[in-house]
Amino acid sequence: MDTKELKLKLKPFIENCELAGKPLSKVRLEENILGLPQANYHLVIKADWLSPQDGCDGVLDTLVDILIRSVDKDILGKVQYITVQDKYDIDHCSDELIVFDQSEKS
């Protein structure tokens, strides 16, 4: 899956962020391992609504929850890292995205 196709599949996430009152003004995907067919991506999103007082954990929890509810598991498996930027394009917070499949509990 290339960057263009993955970005199209993230459209429900972008729309659901808007519906939740957390609109994203920019979404960018960066390949972590260039040129490989199974490459993972770094999702960089710009959220103009962020303020310096917003805690990183709360911001990431909210956006990752919307992401998980919005896209298929195969898409989640492609996004390895997420960074949230404020309206000045300054990184507010970032973290590795690890999603566990509840049906795979041992």
What is the per-residue pLDDT for 103? 47
Percent of the chain residues topping a pLDDT of 70: 84
Q: pTM for the complete prediction?
A: 0.83
Residue found under tokens 């309206």: 87
Residue 68 near residue 19 (C-beta atoms within 8 A)? no
Q: Is the pLDDT of residue 100 over 60?
A: no
Cα distance between residue 42 and residue 71, in whole Å: 16
The span from the CA of 69 to the CA of 52, in Å, is 27
Domain ranges within the chain, ordered by starting residue: 3-99
Residue 4: predicted pLDDT: 85
More confident residue, 2 or 99: 2
- pLDDT for the residue 55: 86
> For 76-99, how does the pLDDT look when each residue is reduced to its tens digit (9 = 90+)?
888 888 999 999 999 999 988 776
| Whole-number Å distance between alpha carbons of 65 and 106 | 23
Q: How long a stretch of residues is the chain?
A: 106
Question: Quick one: fold of 3-99?
Answer: Alpha-Beta Plaits (3.30.70)
Please give the pLDDT value at position 2. 77
Q: What are the CA-CA distances from residue 22 to residues 45, 52, 59, 74, 106 (Å)?
A: 11, 16, 10, 24, 35
Average of per-residue pLDDT values in the chain: 86
